[in-house]
Amino acid sequence: MSQGRAKTLQQWLEWLEQAHRKPIDLGLERVAVVAQRLSLIPAVAPVITVGGTNGKGSTVAFLEAMAIAAGYRMGAYTSPHLLHFNERIRIQGESIDDAAIIAAFAAIDEARAETSLSYFEFATLAALWLFRREEVDLILLEVGLGGRLDAVNILDANVSVVVSVDLDHQEWLGPDRESIAHEKAGIYRSDRPALCGDRQPPKRLQDHAQAIGSQWLCLGQDFDWRSSASNVAANASVHPQANTPDDAQSGTEAWDYLGCEGLTIPNLPPPALLGAYQKDNASLAITALLKARLPRPVTAEHFAKGLISARVSGRMQVLSGGPCPILLDVGHNPHAARALAGYVQSHPPQGRCLGVFGVMADKDLAGIVTPLLPCMDQWFVSQSDLPRALDAQSLAEQLKQSGAKQVHAAASLAQAMDQACVVARPEDLIVAFGSFHTVADILSQERFSDLGACTPSEN
């Protein structure tokens, strides 16, 4: 037992960060062997696995809130965390405590013997171990990277969801959407629902689902949503993809869920999570729960309660109580940047938009920045203390070359945020984005962690 002397969760995490030869080591063989020793396969409860480039966290949040409203004892595993490792493993919507994680790590360390496990593999097994111990009756698993070779894929999901497919992590998943789709499709299972939330799904995603005999269900084709106020003509298509509104009100109005086989759930409340695209994610969650064949039904009332109670820290999260509203978003790829730009453009501040930005050096900077250039009046940039982070001066120079207005480089993200707050007026909006580390560095400062979260109506 290599780690028996560890006493605290922090000691365990520090050991995990250096215990395996590679920080990212995709593959199922090692983790499956240890899971079998721990009797974690098959799962102790129905499983819904959620993958995709963006939207995973929001979709899991809707699933979790809706199922809790329906009376299910929920276990949810997500990654990465913002401030505390405990955020990755939740029971009934609450982060698990240090003692429980330490117990799980100790059990895994003993069972693995000489098998080396990565940080993410240890975390995944800890979640599954705790879900068994806590006797949950529904498990939600968020894919960490890709899908086919991601550790969560050791379990056969009752329903698998791919929220979106876009360019990110190309060094691991492939150079284009079709290659990435092949990796993400690996979470689909034969004879089980294979959901897709991408309105223009890559061919390889659907081809794989059909080749293995999954029940392929795609947003805009087999299920969808529409505004309750849109007065759809009586002879309109049951699944009107073109009917999806994208105006400024689309994130804040009542809506109808249009399900498979003609099912309609009318007049659902607007999602608590910001962004018009959240109705796409909520529709995925509703479809997944309807198709999971759970022992107790999840009803329209449960869906409505979940929509208004779902929360995700750092994803389109608005803080009040500062010099002006502060919008935080962990988006770190072009797809997420387009969604953020769309929200800001449809909800412009009365004053200026001030961007606080930090990004990893291996990300598509041009793809992230280009959609946001028209939105930002000033940029305040820096870097986290990670080796992968793009340094502030290089980031500032590249922003200027892209045509960004008034770019200011700071020694740290805290200083960049300070600079933005100094010049901000009450009618302005500060948008802090670029990575989980950017948002975490800001939320870890006491004066920002104490600020309250706005609801969409307060924004």
Listed residues 309, 338, 359: the one ending a domain: 309
Same domain? For 34 and 180 the reply is yes
Q: Are the C-beta atoms of 160 and 188 separated by less than 8 Å?
A: yes
- What whole-number distance in Å separates Cα of residue 394 and Cα of residue 397? 5
Same domain? For 263 and 323 the reply is no
DSSP state of 354: E
CATH value at residue 413: 3.90.190.20
Same domain? For 284 and 361 the reply is no
Q: What angle do CA 343, 374, 168 make, to 5 degrees?
A: 65
Same domain? For 241 and 285 the reply is yes
Same domain? For 349 and 373 the reply is yes
Please list the pLDDT of the chain residue by residue as tens digits (459 residues). 455 556 899 999 999 998 887 777 788 999 999 999 999 999 999 999 999 988 999 999 999 999 999 999 999 999 999 999 999 999 999 999 999 999 999 999 999 999 999 999 999 999 999 999 999 999 999 999 888 999 999 999 999 999 999 877 667 677 788 999 999 999 999 999 999 999 999 999 999 999 999 999 999 999 999 998 643 433 233 333 333 333 333 456 899 999 998 999 999 999 999 888 899 999 999 999 999 999 999 999 999 999 999 999 888 899 888 899 999 999 888 988 999 999 999 999 999 999 999 998 888 899 999 999 999 999 999 988 888 889 999 999 999 999 998 999 999 999 999 999 999 999 999 999 988 888 988 888 877 655 544 433 333
Token pair listed for 278: 């959240």
Listed residues 309, 330, 356: the one ending a domain: 309
Same domain? For 297 and 399 the reply is no
- What whole-number distance in Å separates Cα of residue 120 and Cα of residue 80? 9
Same domain? For 321 and 305 the reply is no
Q: 1 lies in a domain? A: no
Q: 405 lies in a domain? A: yes
Same domain? For 402 and 453 the reply is yes
Listed residues 292, 309, 326: the one ending a domain: 309
Same domain? For 36 and 141 the reply is yes
Q: 432 lies in a domain? A: yes
Q: How many domains does one find in the chain?
A: 2
Same domain? For 226 and 344 the reply is no
Same domain? For 383 and 349 the reply is yes
Quick one: which of 29, 50, 79 has its CA closest to 314?
Answer: 79
Return the number of other C-beta atoms located less than 10 Å from residue 168's C-beta.
19
Q: 4 lies in a domain? A: no
Q: 246 lies in a domain? A: yes
β-sheet bridge partners, residue 223: 219
Same domain? For 363 and 393 the reply is yes
Q: What is the domain range of residue 436?
A: 317-458
CATH value at residue 63: 3.40.1190.10
Quick one: which of 86, 63, 61, 129 has its CA closest to 315?
Answer: 61
